[in-house]
Amino acid sequence: MIYGPEQVIIVAGINKIVRNLEEAEKRVRNYAAPLDAKRLQKNTPCASLGYCVDCKSEERICNDFVVIKRQFTKGRIKVIIVGKQLGY
């Protein structure tokens, strides 16, 4: 999404919308990442506990957080918000 493709299309449900970056990170750590770690059968504390403990596990999936504030190429990234909950 950051450098590779010429065009990026993001399709997201309304459940992905939060108020600010702090809420976004909290949502990833304590909701999306634990569910994804469990789905991927990772041996992490969040997969079994259901919430983040900021572990140092080799299988940790929430190592990187990327914020895209602007783009050099106008119109390169398109975001489509679907009016229902999609995924987690």
Answer yes or no: is 64 within a domain.
Answer: yes
Domain total of the chain:
1
Q: How confident is the model at residue 3 (pLDDT cuts 50, 70, 90)?
A: confident
Token look-up 């399709």 returns 11
Write the CA distances from 68 to 5, 32, 33, 37, integer angstroms: 14, 19, 19, 24
Answer yes or no: is 74 within a domain.
Answer: yes
Answer yes or no: is 87 within a domain.
Answer: no
Domain of 54, in residue numbers: 8-82
Residue 81 pLDDT greater than 90, yes or no = yes
Nearest one of 4, 2, 31 to 18, comparing CA atoms: 31
The whole-model pTM stands at 0.82
* pLDDT digits 0-9 by tens, 24-68: 999 999 999 999 999 999 999 999 999 999 999 999 999 988 899
Residue 1 pLDDT greater than 90, yes or no = no
Query: How much is the pLDDT for 53?
Result: 95
The answer to whether residues 37 and 47 touch, using CB atoms and an 8 Å cutoff, is: yes
